[in-house]
Chains A and B, each alone.
Chain A
């Protein structure tokens, strides 16, 4: 029963991930007074890419061929233990916060190696940028979730979510607010959004994610893009269900799960609106300013952690 629930949650995450991306793009288009593509455009894109032939450079080794599958596999694995509807996971034996961060790091390393494979300049540039930013974002991500993990006494994501949901007003504290702000900055950076990366541009000297997947086409590109949307979905779900776990089911009953589903979708929709607003109102940062942006995230997470231990009267 609970294993089926865990798989259902993962399936939800994976199936709805392109929809989330599409929703952000649609809201953004509306804000810019354009009609924009429909919200399910990402599914159509993926379907089209899957039908097309995949071409790889003759210089590329087996690594370039394996990367899309491993990247998607790692993203799907993370999706199995993320608390989506129910704050307890049957697969939490397999991974916790540290494992999540490690798998995200694995994805990054593979992305960077694969970008270097074909030997193009864009790939190498994007890979070096990606690794530099990741080195700054990762500690901030760890520290901000550790703030909650300390209070919950566990690094298991579902248990953290349960602990925050069970403490009725625990979320109303300076450390929680600081950790949430830090987490938000990291998630914006990790999912390649403005002001760190621009998901809408292509062939621009500042691109990061697009630069790394430039040499992929067809099926391989579809897998990588799908994995990227799943990772984005996982990160935003972590934000809403670890930091603001209102409505998450504490009991595996039908009514509670229904409420949790509605709450989850509502919160993600709110996130999509905030992200679209942010992307419309801010300009992309110059690359050399991005370390300051992530430094801010690191500072906030560090302060969250210290105020968590120092301010607890």
Chain B
């Protein structure tokens, strides 16, 4: 099976562009003030990931990567954002996702994290020569950005978005290092993520119910 656009669009360039889109959408998710915006950023992040997987599948001709790409699109691109959005609409989380740091500081810190991700990946793994050369640094940078989203936000749902961003980054790293894991592993991981997000959405609803707020910094008062 050959890549239909291969005539005018070399595979590595397509992957590079999509990897750029992956990083851009992750950054936009972190910088959003509203949870709904962060969820939209995550949805685009997942769609870029599915597209990268599809390009890899068509260039290697492996059927199981095609299936993985389709599954990523269906679960992470459509289903999980819908679950998160439903939780956001139901609760009070539609209000602004308060952050511990200001938006400008957050942006600068994210920039620093991305640069750290790029340089350290290079230092650890060296410059790679495959078509997925830009994917590994970008996945490390995105994982750091997702981690930053988790620690910097107060709202529980925004932290969940950070978690699923990290998961996306790990999936991208797996693709770029091994050209995809066995299908069983990938299906298991996707199922885990689905169940995880559903449970976390449930937890967020419970936190809101008990505390009248999804602000996780208030949870420390339980320690008494």
Name A residues whose Cβ lies closer than 8 Å to a Cβ of B: 169, 172-178, 181, 291-292, 295-296, 299-300, 302-303, 306-307, 310-311, 313
B181 at the binding interface (Cβ < 8 Å): no
Taking a contact as CB atoms under 8 Å apart, the answer to whether A310 and B122 are in contact is yes
Q: Chain B residue with minimal CB distance to A177? A: B20
B134:A173 contact, CB within 8 angstroms = yes
A297 and chain B: residue at smallest CB distance: B107
Q: Is B118's CB under 8 angstroms from A292's CB? A: no
Interface residues on B, range: 20 to 34
A169-B10 in contact given A174-B134, A178-B20 (Cβ < 8 Å): yes
Q: State the B residues within 8 Å of A (CB).
A: 9-10, 13-14, 16-17, 19-21, 23-24, 27, 31, 103-104, 107-108, 110-111, 114-115, 118-119, 122, 127-129, 133-134, 137-138
The answer to whether B118 touches A181, judged by C-beta atoms less than 8 angstroms apart, is no
| Max chain B Cβ within 10 angstroms of own Cβ: one of A174, A292, A302 | A174
**Considering the chains assembled together, what is the distance between the CA atoms of A300 and B23 in angstroms?**
10
23 A–B contacts, CB within 8 A, in A order: A169-B9, A172-B9, A172-B13, A172-B14, A172-B16, A173-B17, A174-B16, A174-B17, A177-B20, A177-B21, A178-B23, A291-B104, A296-B31, A299-B108, A299-B110, A303-B114, A303-B115, A307-B137, A310-B115, A310-B118, A311-B134, A313-B127, A313-B129
Contacts of A300 in B (CB 8 A): 24, 27
Distance, CA A169 to CA B16, complexed state (A): 10
Say whether A292 contacts B103, CB under 8 Å. Answer: yes
Nearest Cβ on chain B to A167's Cβ, whole angstroms? 10
Given contacts A172-B9, A172-B16, whether A310 and B119 have CB atoms under 8 Å apart is yes
Do B134 and A313 touch across chains, with their CB atoms under 8 A apart? yes
**Residues on A with beta carbons closer than 8 Å to the beta carbon of B17:** 172-174, 177
Chain B min CB distance to A301 (Å): 10
* Interface-centre pick from B9, B20, B111, B119 (highest chain A CB count, 10 A): B20
CB distance A174 to B19 under 8 Å? yes
CB <8 Å contact, A173 and B107: no
The complex places the Cα of A307 from the Cα of B19 at a distance, in Å, of 12
Q: Other CB < 8 Å A-B pairs besides A169-B9, A292-B107, 20 of them?
A: A169-B10, A172-B13, A173-B13, A173-B16, A174-B19, A177-B21, A177-B24, A178-B20, A178-B23, A292-B31, A296-B107, A299-B27, A299-B110, A299-B111, A306-B114, A307-B118, A307-B134, A310-B118, A310-B122, A310-B137
